[in-house]
Amino acid sequence: MKPHRLCMTHHLRPHKAYPVELAQFHSADYVEFLHRITPDTQHLFSNELARYNLGEDCPVFENLFEFCQIYAGGTIDAARRLNNQLCDIAINWAGGLHHAKKCEASGFCYINDLVLGILELLKYHARVLYIDIDVHHGDGVEEAFYFTD
């Protein structure tokens, strides 16, 4: 029995996910808004903040979009490494933001990296088993795949 090859994103620098990658699940207008919004300009976008659910549970902070790009990129990279058999187990300690919806942030989650990772895995695998061990329900992931087989 061969030992498992483990990939952890703190050993590998993830790529910053491109807006087009984020839009594999999220709406392009939501991704574009996350790219534009900053703490200094958020007062100009009260309608959009409400539409995309940014504010109390999902505050706007400096480098928000870059944060999203890095943690989403880590999960996408992990899935690609698994798909290409470069490792047997991949962990992104910064990932797991399972509440984000297609068109809105939710529960401190802005981009749903898990959905993006699952979509990447589905390019090579017929089915993916998603087990969420968080104390909170992964409603964003459920919503993304609820009407698929």
The catalytic residue positions are: 99
- Between CA 20 and CA 137 the distance in angstroms is 27
- Alpha carbon distance 116, 75 (integer Å): 8
The b/e string for 124-139 (b: 16+ C-beta within 10 A; e otherwise) is: eeeeeeeeeeeeeebb
DSSP class of 109: B
